[in-house]
């Protein structure tokens, strides 16, 4: 009813696909944004300490509810163990097989995100799953291999939980990231940790292959995706468009320019070249 109120001039819809569809079907001008499922690729040239610190800072901010926050980490095989060790040293919990199954069982409900775990702490989610982790645990990490809907950890989780994948090499890592984006979060955000100064071809390749509007390099995704803090290319906003890939009308970070009407006063000033005919 609110969307159809005569005093409503434009609808800015931030939420699930149902709400966005309702906004677009309201008969009012609408700007909708899509869901994220941000994959992170860490290659063998990355600064591992910075990568892990950035991911943990991002993923623990507001307990992971920012739509741009990391959902999966894909690590090249040659540095996988070092990244895994660094996560554990910095407060993440690497779940064993039994724990991973228990946590995976509460991430989704009826095939969709379980609202009961959204924004909860890592310890609270562990308690819901019936396992114990230290109260100060930062993130729960499930080491998995499937990148399709059958794997609970592969979905958007909006909580301090992460999937972690081992990739054979950089190309395989990008391929896995592509699959995760296509499964959920197309058009939203992706992230790469690499030696950005000496690996321009990898930055270019990642940018070419990712169907996301925000492609972040060596940047915590939550803070980087919303713009301004870690880059000057994205407008500061918590409303992130996914473009036609994600069924949205825009692919930018929504800002004031999208919410105003512009008038243009155009005085007559004839452009004679427009009338010029080619010489015979």
Which residues are catalytic, by number?
Answer: 67
Runs of H (alpha helix) within the chain: 17-24, 48-60, 77-89, 97-107, 122-129, 170-183, 200-209, 221-225, 272-275
> Cα 154 vs. chain centroid, distance in angstroms?
12
Cβ contact 202:171 at 8 Å: no
Would you call 270 exposed, middle or buried from its count of C-beta atoms within 10 A (0-12, 13-18, 19+)? exposed
| Cα separations in angstroms, 122 against 97, 127, 266 | 17, 9, 58
Distance CA 88, CA 148 (A): 26
């Amino acid at each position: 009813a609110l969307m159809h109120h005569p005093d409503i001039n434009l609808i800015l819809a931030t939420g699930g696909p149902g709400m966005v569809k309702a906004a677009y079907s309201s008969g009012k001008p609408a700007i909708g944004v899509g869901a994220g499922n941000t994959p992170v690729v860490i290659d063998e040239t990355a600064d591992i300490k910075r990568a892990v610190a950035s991911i943990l800072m991002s993923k623990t901010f507001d307990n992971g509810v920012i739509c741009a926050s990391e959902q999966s980490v894909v690590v090249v095989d040659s540095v996988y163990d070092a990244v895994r060790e660094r996560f554990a040293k910095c407060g993440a919990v690497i779940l064993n097989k039994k724990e991973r199954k228990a946590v995976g069982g509460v991430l989704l409900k009826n095939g969709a995100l379980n609202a009961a775990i959204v924004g909860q702490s890592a310890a609270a989610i562990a308690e819901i799953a019936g396992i114990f982790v230290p109260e100060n645990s930062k993130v729960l990490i499930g080491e998995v291999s499937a990148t399709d809907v059958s794997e609970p950890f592969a979905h958007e989780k909006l909580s301090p939980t992460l999937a972690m994948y081992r990739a054979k090499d950089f190309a395989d890592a990008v391929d896995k990231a592509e699959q995760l984006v296509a499964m959920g979060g197309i058009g939203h955000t992706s992230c790469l940790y690499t030696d950005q100064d000496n690996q321009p071809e990898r930055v270019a390749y990642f940018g070419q292959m990712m169907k996301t509007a925000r492609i972040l390099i060596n940047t915590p995704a939550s803070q980087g995706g919303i713009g301004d803090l870690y880059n000057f290319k994205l407008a500061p906003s918590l409303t992130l468009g996914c473009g036609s890939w994600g069924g949205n009308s825009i692919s930018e970070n929504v800002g004031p320019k999208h919410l105003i009407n512009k008038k243009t006063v155009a005085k007559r000033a004839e452009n004679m070249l427009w009338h010029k005919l080619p010489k015979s």
